[in-house]
A and B are shown apart, each in its own frame.
Chain A
């Protein structure tokens, strides 16, 4: 079985300050991990993915995430928040033993204050 826990349902930062969205996962096999962003009433956009290559993954819009196997974590970071980053963020795990099904975390709503 696989699961994903996003530790914060809401995160609020000021524009220009760093962003940290936390994600822990569990998976019996080597997982693939993704971060998706969902803007209000929009679909899901892939930010970045980890697929057993480099543990530090760079994505779009200045986001990056680091896969830490020992901590079973895949936290999403960005050095400087922008107003347009305000959205819902989902950490997602997939593994071959789960039939490549995606398992979503509960989401973290990022709010950016001016």
Chain B
């Protein structure tokens, strides 16, 4: 049973390019969460998605960032026109639709985005 798979592990983009980060949840998990970790900081919530639905995007920056979790395929976090301040580690977590507090969340290994 593979865990949460994120790819790529490392991504380098020039300022102004687009970054696409992918997350495949654990088998049986239908809820996906994206978190961002800036250097020397804890993780900050960005967005919570279920299949084809954004449930909570209160942590997403208002511009340039978007997320989706289509019926088929991985969840995608998309950052348009990247800037140096977007450099961070982006973590995806997944959970089953029930018992999230009991079972906890499973995190992927993250995508480390570097904007040059």
Contacts and interface: CB of A to CB of B under 8 A. Distances in A.
A17 B112 CA distance: 34
Interface of A: 32, 34, 36, 41-46, 49, 51, 90, 94, 96, 99-107
B107 A49 contact: no
Contacts of B112: 41
Contacts of B35: 102, 104
Given A101-B56, A102-B33, A46 B43 contact: no
Interface stretch (B11-19, B60-68, B98-106): B98-106
Nearest to A49: B104
A84 B35 CA distance: 26
Interface of B is mostly: strand
A94 B41 contact: no
Contacts, number: 53
Nearest to B45: A101
Interface of B: 33, 35, 41-45, 48, 55-56, 91, 93, 100-102, 104-110, 112
Contacts of A106: 41-42
Contacts of A45: 107
Which 6 residue pairs spanning A and B have beta carbons closest together?
Answer: A43-B109, A32-B101, A104-B42, A44-B107, A104-B43, A106-B42
B110 A43 contact: yes
Contact of B101 (A41, A43, A94): A94
Given A44-B91, A99-B56, A34 B104 contact: yes
A103 B104 contact: no
